[in-house]
């Protein structure tokens, strides 16, 4: 079994889900008391959030590279950034390391393609929804992406940072998200990407009338596939 490197803490609420999903999948597939070999480097999200808000992506990348070097030195065979937004610097991080980085958008695009869909909605942080690093990566795989209009983008972003990263789950916020999704469906979206790893703490496929692509779960399960690959 390969050792999975996780850079977490962004936020720890979703990083805990990565740990749970990976270990449960390893136990299902290997049986008995099997669990995953994991190196987890957890960063202080308050610092990362400040760098995001100020647009200091170079310093944010340096923090991710430092964490990646720690994971690599501790024996990780490959690396995951347990966050969608920080894939803004994924290429820079990958170039600085000698172990592979499993990109969350590639994993998500593969799931969408396997489902036979090509036009999906994207919810996430403002950075993920509005900047090209994520949507562009999906489009390279042939996935067409729509994002909410304003003020819905601001509502989606604020719920993530004001509530979900703090473990606050409010029914009112779930209703807000589902209303945003309804609008995306009316605009022709065939599926929905939960493009922030905390979003699947708030909504699930059971809440939706279209297929749901929970990025944290997809990313974690892809890590299990890679860890168990001979």
Residues 6+ apart with CB under 8 A from 39: 3, 4, 5, 6, 71, 74, 75, 76
Catalytic residue among 83, 125, 128, 215: 83
Cβ burial 112-135 (10 Å sphere, 16+ → b, else e) = beeeebeebbbbbbbbbbeeebbb
Catalytic residue among 82, 108, 128, 196: 196
Quote the CA–CA distance of 168 and 170 in Å, as a whole number: 6
Quote the CA–CA distance of 5 and 133 in Å, as a whole number: 22
Asked if 69 and 47 count as a contact pair (C-beta separation under 8 A), the reply is no
Supply 11's token pair: 């936020």
Residues 6+ apart with CB under 8 A from 151: none
176 flagged as catalytic: no
Q: Is the dihedral of CA 170, 171, 177, 180 positive or negative?
A: negative
83 flagged as catalytic: yes
What's the CA angle centered on 213, arms 1 and 116, to 5 degrees? Answer: 100
Q: Active-site positions?
A: 83, 196
């Amino acid at each position: 079994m390969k050792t999975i490197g996780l850079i977490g803490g962004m936020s720890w609420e979703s990083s805990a889900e990565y740990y749970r999903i990976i270990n449960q999948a390893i136990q299902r597939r290997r049986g008995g008391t099997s669990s995953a070999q994991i190196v987890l480097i957890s960063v202080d999200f308050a610092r990362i959030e400040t760098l995001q808000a100020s647009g200091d992506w170079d310093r944010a990348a340096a923090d991710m590279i430092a964490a990646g070097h720690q994971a690599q030195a501790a024996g990780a065979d490959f690396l995951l950034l347990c966050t969608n937004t920080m894939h803004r610097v994924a290429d820079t991080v990958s170039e600085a390391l000698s172990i592979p980085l499993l990109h969350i958008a590639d994993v998500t695009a593969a799931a969408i393609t396997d489902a036979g869909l090509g036009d999906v909605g994207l919810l996430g942080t403002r950075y993920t929804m509005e900047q090209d690093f994520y949507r562009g990566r999906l489009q390279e795989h042939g996935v067409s992406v729509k994002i909410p209009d304003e003020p819905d983008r601001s509502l989606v972003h604020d719920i993530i940072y004001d509530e979900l990263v703090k473990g606050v789950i409010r029914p009112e916020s779930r209703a807000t998200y589902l209303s945003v999704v309804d609008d995306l469906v009316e605009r022709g979206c065939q599926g929905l990407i939960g493009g922030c790893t905390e979003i699947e703490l708030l909504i699930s496929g059971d809440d939706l009338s279209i297929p749901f692509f929970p990025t944290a779960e997809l990313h974690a399960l892809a890590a299990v596939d890679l860890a168990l690959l001979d």
